[in-house]
Amino acid sequence: MPQNSRLEPTILVIFGAGGDLTWRKLLPALYNLLLDNHLPERLAIVGVARRKLEDGSFRAKIREGIDSFSRRQVEDEQLWNRFAENISYVSEDLTDSASGAALSGRLARIEEQWGVRANRVYYLAIPPTVMEPAAAMLKRLGVCRDCARDRLVVEKPFGRDLLSAQALNAFLNGMFVESQIYRIDHYLGKETVQNILAFRFANSLFEPVWNRSYIDHVQITVAETVGVEERGEYYDQAGALRDMVQNHLLQILCLVAMEPPINFEADEIRNKKVDVLHAIRPIKGEEIHRYAVRGQYRKGNVLGKAVPGYPEEKNVAPDSGTETYAAFKFHIDNWRWQGVPFYLRTGKRLPSKVSEVSIIFRSPPHQFFPSAAVENWQPNRIVIRIQPEEGIGTRIQVKQPGTRLLLGAADMQFLYREAFRAPAPEAYETLLLDVIRGDATLFMRGDQVESAWKVVMPILEAWESVPPADFPDYPAGSWGPETADQLTAREGHSWLQPAEQEEP
């Protein structure tokens, strides 16, 4: 099968090759890129982890991952064999300052066989504790020296607060140039998240009303039905604010609120997003309860199944004060958004897995219909559904059929599934291909990550200084703690509840 001959020969080195991300997401994404002929004609994948493992066992594990988690399984044995013969494994102990010989030997052998100096992508799918040793090893080996050809992908979490993020940035910038560093936030690779840019700026219909004169408020919901699964150890140290808000939710907020970019250059788009983060009004410690709400799930039922509470989860402290739910009201202090509340919420063990952005418009300035006609009047809204069932819906008011004048709401829906036959790529497919191509638009620049940390730091500090008194405080399978409703109710608003999922 011909692949993309315009892409340079590439070696992709994955640190953390034994981890879930590699198995469930990265290799399935690469396999799908192969099926769509997007990969460079010459691509070698080298897995790196501490454990000793034969190439054959690594390949077998990868295949199992593809068969279990990929949107398309292995059907063509010949194609799989050609893909697999370029996958290999080396064992390296990153904590050993003399490590690296096996990796540099492998890189040299591959390039010798190809007879070219390949582009090299180093994907750090590893915990924060070994991030610096891994980067230091690459520096020591001199294998990530070419600013144009060698790239480093850094997985989240990027630091655990502003100081550690600054320190990690300083460490990485001391070894590599910024344009080599690709900080990943997989939400930015999701089709519908990217579509926010197209929707806003490729249509002249919406941008004129996309401001405080027409928009009443904005809601961003990222709800999950899952609990902490096997990640209790990590999650109990992180919580929803660090795990979801500092990155995914704030990035979505930036796309919704940013000014129109001048061109499609990575830095231009990133500058516009950073402007939004800078304009978010800092939440002061003493008023935190009016702007931020946290919660933790207790046992309950999700999608018809009984599930344990957070304190009973594996590797979680029984008296844990970690939030599994977080909701906020942010204000953006600029001309476009002054006075428009942005409500954000995310949580685990909620009734449905759904991510969506709702733009709720103001009432018409003058309502001349008889009051009986507008009894069921509802504001216009645009709902951008990120997942599942990607699409965009608008709610308008129409006359209900009949001899009386009665207005009612009608929804217009655009569904990706119906409009386009081609299935959408997974976020990691888009992002991996972008790194291979050297396009950083969908990745986070160092100052962007730090600006996002600056937004959440006052909340983080306030929450850490006062332990929650009433955790766990919402039953699994509910829409979170009651205090989250008060957050919106104070301004006369209420959360829009996305349609709940059917029981499987």
Residues 278, 279, 282, CA angle at the centre, nearest 5°? 85
Residue 153: closest CA among 139, 165, 135: 135
* Number of residues lying near ligand BG6 (CB under 6 A): 2
CB of 279 to ligand BG6, least distance (A): 25
One residue of 92, 150, 216, 224 binding ligand BG6 per CB under 6 A: 224
Cβ atoms of residues 88 and 55 within 8 Å: yes
For ligand BG6, the closer of residues 137 and 354 by Cβ is: 354
- Tell me how far apart the alpha carbons of residues 396 and 183 are, in angstroms, rounded to a whole number: 40
> Residue 168 class from Cβ within 10 Å (0-12 exposed, 13-18 middle, 19+ buried)?
buried
The yes-or-no answer on residue 248 being catalytic is yes
Is residue 223 within 8 Å of 347, Cβ to Cβ?
yes
Query: C-beta of 428: minimal distance to ligand BG6 in Å?
Result: 9
Helix (H) or strand (E) holding 256: helix 250-257
Nearer of residues 100 and 159 to ligand BG6, judged by Cβ: 159
* 323 is a site residue for ligand BG6 (CB under 6 A): no
Shortest Cβ 161–ligand BG6 spacing (Å):
17
* 259 token code pair: 């000014």
Amino acid at 434: D
Overall size of the chain counted in residues: 504
Q: How far is the CB of 84 from ligand BG6 (least distance, A)?
A: 27
Element (H, E) at 133: helix 128-141
**CB-nearest residue to ligand BG6:** 243
Which of 150, 155, 236, 243 binds ligand BG6 (CB under 6 A)? It is 243
Distance CA 69, CA 491 (A): 43
Shortest CB 435 distance to ligand BG6, Å: 18
**Contact flags string 165-204 toward ligand BG6, x per CB under 6 A:** ----------------------------------------
For ligand BG6, the closer CB: 231 or 331? 231
Give me the least distance between CB of 82 and ligand BG6, in Å please: 30
Task: Decide: 286 and 457 in contact? Cβ < 8 Å.
Answer: no
Looking only at residues 77 through 96 of this chain, which bind ligand BG6 when binding is defined by CB under 6 A? none
- Record the tokens describing residue 198, joined without a space: 């197209």
We find the least distance from the C-beta atom of residue 101 to ligand BG6, in angstroms, to be 33
Instruction: Give the integer Cα–Cα distance in Å for 109 and 106.
Output: 5
> Among residues 129 and 204, whose Cβ is nearest to ligand BG6?
129
Cα–Cα distance measured from residue 257 to residue 494, given in angstroms and rounded to the nearest whole number: 21
Q: Are 211 and 257 a contacting pair, CB within 8 Å?
A: no
Pick from 302, 354, 313, 289: which is nearest to 475 by CA? 302
Q: Name the residue nearer to ligand BG6 (CB basis): 230 or 375.
A: 230
Considering the candidates 248, 289, 331, 493, report the single residue annotated as catalytic: 248
CA angle 479, 482, 483 (to 5 degrees): 120
Q: How far apart are CA 213 and CA 364, in angstroms?
A: 11
The tokens of 79 are what?
Answer: 């194609």
The smaller minimum CB distance to ligand BG6, of residues 120 and 349, is found at 349
Distance CA 136, CA 17 (A): 18
Amino acid occupying residue 438: G
| Minimum distance, C-beta of residue 496 to ligand BG6, in the bound complex (Å) | 19
Task: Using the minimum distance from each CB to ligand BG6, give the nearer residue, 118 or 444.
Answer: 444
Going through 375-492 in order, the beta strands assigned E by DSSP cover 381-387, 391-399, 407-415, 474-475
For residues 224 and 390, which CB has a smaller minimum distance to ligand BG6 in the complex?
A: 224
Residue with tokens 């990969």: 39
Where in the sequence numbering do the catalytic residues fall? 248
Residues found near ligand BG6 in the complex (CB under 6 A): 224, 243
